[in-house]
Each structure stands twice: as C-alpha cells, then as structure tokens.
Amino acid sequence: MVGITDYGFYIPKYRIKVSDIASQWGKCSEKVENTLQVHEKAVAGIDEDVLTMAYEASIMALSSNKNLRSEIGSVFVGSETFPYAVKPTSSSLGEWLGLSHDYLAYDTQFACKAATGALISAMGLVKSKDISTALVCGSDKANARPKDVLEYSASSGANAWVLGRENIIAEIVDWTSFTSDTPDFWRRSKAEFPSHAGRFTGTPAYFYHITRAIEKLLQKTSMTTDMFAHVVFHMPNGSFPLKAAKILNITKEQMHQGYIVKNLGNSYSASALMGLVSVFDVAKPGEKILFASYGSGAGSDAIIFNITDKIVEKRKNFLKMISEKTYIHYITYSRNMGIIK
C-alpha cells in the first residue's frame, strides 16, 4: 500500500474582500460575487513567497515524526509563481527543512496542477521502493493583472504531503491523467501576469479535462460517483467546481467539505489540494475521496483516496486555523503582491 502519511498547510493571515477589489474598479461587487461565487481571498504578506509558504506547510507535515527528515528521498515543489525562473525552490526547501542531502529534488510547473503531477510521480517512486518517503508541496502566491477578472480569485497558500508505505492515513487507490494541448491560460516567459482566453477556459478546458479524467478513473476502477463520501475539484472560482459536479451527478453534500474557494480564493497549485486538506478534517476511516486537479494548458489528474483509521491522530483542524485572519485594503494588497513597489 502507498499513500499519504501526513500533511500540512499554510494559509497567510491576510484577506481581501472581493467587494474591496470590485469597488476599486467601479464594478458592482454583488454581481461579481454572484458570478464568481468568491467573497474573499487569502493574500501572502510582503515578506512571503512560494518558498516561505511551502516551508511553513512542510514543517507542519513533518512535525509529528522527528525521524522523517532523514528518510525523505525526494522533494518536489509544484508552483506557477516560483521566486526564481532558474534556481530550484525544492533544494532551498530541503535545506531549510534540514533534510539529508541524499534526495531527488525538482520543481514542477503545469499551471494549477503542478503539484498533483508531482504527487503522482512521488507515489511511483515510493511504490517502486526506490525511496521510502517523499515530500510534495503545492505552493503559490498567485498573481493577476490588476482589473483582470482573475484578480478577484487569485490567492496565496501552500500545502505539503508526505508519502510513504507505512502509517498511511489516505491510501492512493488509483489515478488517471488526461492531457491535451489546450491554450486556455498562460504566462509567457518574462511576463509579469498570466493571460487567459475568457470563456474558452470553461467548456473546452476545465470541464472537458476534469470530466474526462474522472470518467476514465471511474471506468478504470469500476466505481461510481455515489461511492465517494467527499469529492474535491480544482477551484478556479466558486462556480466551476459546482458545475462540474452537476455534470458528473455529484451532490452538493459530497462537494461541501472540500469546497473552500468562497473564503480563500484560488491558490493555483495549492487550490485543489487545499480542498483535500479540508476534507481530511472530517473524513472517517473507510471513506473514499474522489479528487481531480486541473492545470491549464491543459490537463487534469484524478485520484481516488481511501481513508484509514490513522487519520484520527493526524487531523489539523484546518477550518479553525484559517479563521484567524486580518483584512487588508487594496493598496496593502497591491504592495504585498508587488504590484506597487
């Protein structure tokens, strides 16, 4: 058996309300919130970036077992807002965490599914017994062009996942990935902000890839959607995951616990995995979780998790921890995100 043995997360304490951003641009906040189904988002501090947040998430994930640090054989960090274009974040993270130097490290990039691709790769290394333990992080300080619709949802956050073969809290039952060359969202080299193709990001991109990945996974495992206690999809905004759920005959109750976008926004590489963090707060032993990330460009990684009785001792009380927050105004947000310097 291979799966997740522990996890951690980091949500910066700052929040900005969608209404604040909307009023900045003379937009009707009620309409914006109704359309996007996002009310506020988490914003990293001026002194925080992908590395600092990945570090915070990782020390939480490694806190329960002092021996883990010496056992880690790979460190992967998925992001689309790495602090450096050339210079790995994963090696810095390993150093900061005090790991041995005997590990494979690399950074991954595939828009918002950079970390789930890394998670599947890490699972392969652990499953093949080439390594015993892997650390995977999804971390983003997601930026958006001022006034762009992305600005209402692009947020900050990180999570970290320890994979192993023993003391598993969530077994990885199976996975699929569905990929095509679909240019719905991109950021060119040296460009400061991402671009997107409006409504093209919906039907032919997000919905097509997520539904295909899920359908193939269900077919592969001979399972049906009603067999899952919880379902988590990537959350670029509040409406897309619910619409995808409707297409796949998944209920609001199944989506409820992992649907955290309304108050946290879309932390890109960390988005879908943050929904999984929330689910781990309540998932009971024996329950199954259906999960699908989405990365523009485009692809979806679908994974089935099976919760074990070890979950009880590893819960993090996510919802309580993120309730401690400080609201900031647009000018502070702009400074924190480096839009004004």
Partner 1 sequence: MNSVIGYYSTKFGELWKMSLDDLFLAASCGVLESTKLEIGQIDAVFIGNMLGGVVDNQLLLSAHISEILEVDIPIYRLEAACASGGMAFQTANEYLKSHPESTVLVVGAEKMTDISATDITTALSTAASLDEQKVGLTFPGVYALLAQVYLNEYGYNEEHLAAVSVKNHAHGVLNDNAHFQRYVTIDNVLESPYIAYPLKVLDSSPISDGAAALILSNNKQLIKTRNSSVILASEMATDNISISKRRNLDEIYSTKKAGTEAFKKSKIIPLDVNVMEVHDCFSIAEILALEDLGFWKKGTGGGYAKEMATHIDSGNNLIVNTSGGLKAAGHPVGGTGVKQIGEVYLQLTGQAKRRQVKNTKYGLAHNVGGSGGVAIVTILGV
d(CA 17, CA 103): 41
Is the Cβ of residue 29 or residue 65 nearer to partner 1 in the bound state? 29
Question: Could you give the C-alpha distances from 27 to 76, 142, 331, in angstroms and in order?
Answer: 40, 22, 17
Residues in the chain: 341
Q: Give residues with Cβ within 8 angstroms of 209, minimum separation 6.
A: 178, 179, 180, 182, 294, 298, 299, 300
**Which residues sit opposite 107 in a β-bridge?**
77
Least spacing, CB of residue 200 vs partner 1, in Å: 6
The only residue of 127, 193, 200, 225 in contact with partner 1, by rule CB under 8 A:
200
- Please identify, among the stretches 1-9, 101-109, 197-205, 215-223, the one whose residues bind partner 1 according to the rule CB under 8 A: 197-205
Active site residues: 80, 112, 234
Is the Cβ of residue 24 or residue 65 nearer to partner 1 in the bound state? 24
Is the Cβ of residue 27 or residue 335 nearer to partner 1 in the bound state? 27
Instruction: Give me the 146-185 binding string for partner 1, x by CB under 8 A, dash otherwise.
Output: ----------------------------------------
The only residue of 104, 120, 149, 197 in contact with partner 1, by rule CB under 8 A:
197
Residue 137, CB-side half-sphere exposure with 13 Å CA sphere: 37
Least spacing, CB of residue 318 vs partner 1, in Å: 37
6 three-class SS: strand
Instruction: Say whether residue 198 binds partner 1 (CB under 8 A).
Output: yes
d(CA 82, CA 341): 19
d(CA 22, CA 99): 44
d(CA 200, CA 208): 11
Fill in the amino acid letter for 264: L
Query: Would you say 303 and 279 are in contact if contact means Cβ atoms under 8 Å apart?
Result: no
Least spacing, CB of residue 247 vs partner 1, in Å: 18
Instruction: Please report, as residue ranges, which positions from 245 to 284 form the binding site for partner 1 (by CB under 8 A).
Output: none
- Tell me the site size for partner 1, rule CB under 8 A: 7
Phi and psi at 317, nearest 5°, equal 60, 55
Is the Cβ of residue 28 or residue 247 nearer to partner 1 in the bound state? 28
Scanning the structure block, which residue is given the tokens 């297409």?
247
Is the Cβ of residue 106 or residue 200 nearer to partner 1 in the bound state? 200
Least spacing, CB of residue 206 vs partner 1, in Å: 13
- Please identify, among the stretches 10-18, 49-57, 148-156, 190-198, the one whose residues bind partner 1 according to the rule CB under 8 A: 190-198
d(CA 22, CA 15): 15
The only residue of 147, 199, 246, 252 in contact with partner 1, by rule CB under 8 A:
199
Instruction: Please report, as residue ranges, which positions from 18 to 57 form the binding site for partner 1 (by CB under 8 A).
Output: 27
Least spacing, CB of residue 204 vs partner 1, in Å: 5
Is the Cβ of residue 199 or residue 220 nearer to partner 1 in the bound state? 199
Q: Give residues with Cβ within 8 angstroms of 331, minimum separation 6.
A: 340
Residues making contact with partner 1 (CB under 8 A):
27, 195, 197-200, 204
